[in-house]
Amino acid sequence: MCNYNRHGPSRRATGILARVPRGEPLFAFESVSVGPPEARRLHRLDARLPAGGLTVVAGPSGSGKSTLLRLCNRLEVPSQGTVRHRGEDVAGRDPLGLRREVAMVFQRPVTFAGTVLDNLREADRGCDEARGAELLERAGLAPAFLVRDASELSGGEAQRACLARALATDPHVMLMDEPTSALDAKATAVLERLARQLVADGTPVVWVSHSEEQMRRLADCVLLLADGRLDRDGSAQEVLGDG
Can you give the binding site for other proteins, defined by CB under 8 A? 41, 61-63, 65-67, 73-77, 95-97, 99-100, 103-104, 106-108, 110, 112-113, 122-123, 162, 165-166, 168-169, 177-178, 208, 210
Instruction: Kindly tell me which of 1 and 77 has the beta carbon lying closer to other proteins.
Output: 77
**CA-wise closest residue to 110 among 126, 123, 99, 98:** 123
Residue 106: CB minimum distance to other proteins, A: 6
Instruction: Kindly tell me which of 93 and 196 has the beta carbon lying closer to other proteins.
Output: 93
Instruction: Kindly tell me which of 66 and 188 has the beta carbon lying closer to other proteins.
Output: 66
Amino acid at 44: R
Residue 109: CB minimum distance to other proteins, A: 9
Q: What is the CA radius of gyration of the chain?
A: 17
Query: Distance between CA atoms of 242 and 240, rounded to whole angstroms?
Result: 7
DSSP 39-74: G-SEEEEEEEE-SSSEEEEE-STTSSHHHHHHHHTT
Residue 162: CB minimum distance to other proteins, A: 7
Residue 100: CB minimum distance to other proteins, A: 4
54 forms beta bridges with: 205
Element (H, E) at 190: helix 185-200
Instruction: Kindly tell me which of 182 and 240 has the beta carbon lying closer to other proteins.
Output: 182
